[in-house]
Amino acid sequence: MLLYDDVVSEYRDFATYAAGDSPCFEEWALGVSTDEEMLAWLGTLPPLKRQANLVFAAARWHGAPAPAPYAALRRVLLEQEPEVRASVMSRATQTNEVGRLASLTPVLGLLDGPLALIEVGASAGLCLHPDRYDYAWPPVGGLRGSGGPVLTAAATGPLPVPARHPEVAWRGGVDLNPLDVADADAMRWLENLVWPEQDERRERLRAAVEVARLDPPDLRRGDLFDHLPALLDRAATHGTPVVFHSAVIAYLEEPDRRRFHELMTGLVAGGRCRWISNEGRHVLPSVTGDADVPPGRFVTALDGTPVAHSHGHGHAIHWL
């Protein structure tokens, strides 16, 4: 998804991203992209606050039915503008899609354990429990034995199906606004961020919250650049430090994206950690390179080298 671009391009890009996954959000995004009144309103918001995911979630929080035609969204945005604006400004898109572990776990399987996981942009830390899920990668294979929920991603290419679950010795992370799995309001907001037609994702989220409540990770509040060094020191006492992130670095402005890439390449080169990134095709150009990445797919990389193209919510993975 594009961020920090012009509003029309952002919403058209989001419509492409949502195509096939949410007909409602695809229609809403295309509707906004041609609605001068809505575009003008979005132009009054800070760049990071005008993103479709956040605006649509805020409208639904205040009663916009979904799935529903674009007119339903427009009516709530106009009639409840102050309330929607307040929610947009006070909340964030912290979608904690545990389904992405179906893309990340094959990469974790390439690393020597035990692992000490550090998630950048951890939200509620739901993706810090790859060892508590089973996996299916049809038609390639699967991984069973955790006793937890099954995560599924259609697989193509020579996917290295892990022989065993990751051995996780420690799990922690950092977020500007870490969410507490015991906070009912925060968990309702996470559910509200799940796209309208995706009841299966909603059920998976509820199951993931229960998994995390049994073993809450160590989450720090603040800027990743401030907290990552201390987290690495802590992680290194438990096992191989692995810094990972998924659909997070897009929320940094361009200079900080470059700064983050330089930081991580330096840490990897210095032997401080391994690095798994899972971001949109335009987010880390030094990682993506000149690769032809299909629309709506993320680039999944290990230590800065792409290994797969993955569905943004973990529904599919193509190993390179």
Domain assignments of the chain as residue spans, ordered by start: 7-90, 98-319
- Is the per-residue pLDDT at 4 higher than 60? no
| Overall average pLDDT of the 59-85 stretch | 97
Whole-prediction pTM value?
0.83
Give percent of the chain with pLDDT exceeding 70. Answer: 98
- Is the per-residue pLDDT at 1 higher than 60? no
Pairing of strands 168-175, 115-120: parallel
pLDDT digits (tens, 9 = 90+) for 232-267: 999 999 999 999 999 999 889 999 999 999 999 999
Cα separation, 130 vs 84, in Å, equals 35
pLDDT for res 95: 75
**pLDDT confidence band for 5 (50 / 70 / 90):** low
Cα separation, 313 vs 151, in Å, equals 11
| Overall average pLDDT of the 24-50 stretch | 94
Kindly report the backbone phi and psi dihedral angles of residue 260, in degrees, each rounded to the nearest multiple of 5, phi listed first.
-65, -45
Kindly report the backbone phi and psi dihedral angles of residue 282, in degrees, each rounded to the nearest multiple of 5, phi listed first.
-100, 0
Give percent of the chain with pLDDT exceeding 90. Answer: 86
| Average pLDDT of every residue of the chain | 93
- Is the per-residue pLDDT at 2 higher than 70? no
Q: Which two tokens stand for residue 163?
A: 């022989």
Q: Quick one: CA dihedral 13, 204, 58, 44, positive or negative?
A: negative
pLDDT for res 314: 92
- Is the per-residue pLDDT at 295 higher than 90? no
**pLDDT confidence band for 155 (50 / 70 / 90):** very high
**pLDDT confidence band for 46 (50 / 70 / 90):** very high
pLDDT digits (tens, 9 = 90+) for 80-136: 999 999 999 999 887 788 999 999 999 999 999 899 999 999 999 999 999 999 999
**pLDDT confidence band for 291 (50 / 70 / 90):** confident
| Domain 98-319 in this protein, CATH class | alpha beta
**pLDDT confidence band for 48 (50 / 70 / 90):** confident
Element (H, E) at 217: none
| Overall average pLDDT of the 214-223 stretch | 93
Residue linked to tokens 């299966």? 200
CB of 177 closer than 8 Å to CB of 225: no
In 3D space, the residue among 91, 72, 62, 63 whose CA is nearest the CA of residue 25 turns out to be 72
Neighbouring C-beta atoms of residue 218, cutoff 10 Å: 17
Cα separation, 119 vs 107, in Å, equals 15
- Give the side-chain half-sphere CA count within 13 A for 123: 26
pLDDT digits (tens, 9 = 90+) for 183-198: 999 999 999 999 999 8
pLDDT for res 17: 85
Q: What angle do CA 314, 303, 124 make, to 5 degrees?
A: 45
